[in-house]
Amino acid sequence: MERTLSIIKPDGVQRNLIGEVVKRFEKAGIRIAAMKMLRLTKQQAMGFYKVHQERPFFESLTDFMSSGPVVVMVLEGGDVIQKNRDLMGATNYKEAAEGTIRHDFATDIEKNVVHGSDSPATAATEIAYFFSELEICR
């Protein structure tokens, strides 16, 4: 069993896509092991995305990520890191495959509805950023 962190970004929450995203996870046989809604401060968004701090889009991305509530989830299942990335689609929605969340709903390279961890190491760090072990249902 593997775990990954998923975030429904502020654009997804604002556009009433929580149910749609969760439905796609459940239909894919992914188990939701933890879930909560919160609003990141600018500092918290900067901490979450610190791997990107030198990138030109960092300032705008962290403004966006702190602009409204997000839904954070721990997803669990076999090969769930890659499975989630496949459901999400490419970072740039214009390159995302048909039927992926980003292809179907993203409006911008930045406002692309969902986040998903990209490796076991990042998944562990990102899950711990939002959840204590006690908050994750086994």
Active site residues: 115
Cβ proximity to ligand UDP: between 14 and 91 the closer is: 91
**In the complex, least distance from residue 110 CB atom to ligand UDP, rounded to whole angstroms:** 3
- Does 2 bind ligand UDP (CB under 6 A)? Our answer is no
Which positions from 69 through 108 interact with ligand UDP, judged by CB under 6 A? 91
108 near 75, Cβ under 8 Å? no
DSSP state of 76: E
122 near 13, Cβ under 8 Å? no
**Partners of residue 32 on adjacent β-strands:** 75
Which positions from 109 through 138 interact with Mg ion, judged by CB under 5 A? 118
What is the phi/psi pair of residue 75, to 5°? Answer: -100, 145
What is the phi/psi pair of residue 119, to 5°? Answer: -160, 165
**In the complex, least distance from residue 115 CB atom to Mg ion, rounded to whole angstroms:** 7
Residues near ligand UDP, by CB under 6 A:
52, 57, 61, 91, 109-110, 112, 115, 118
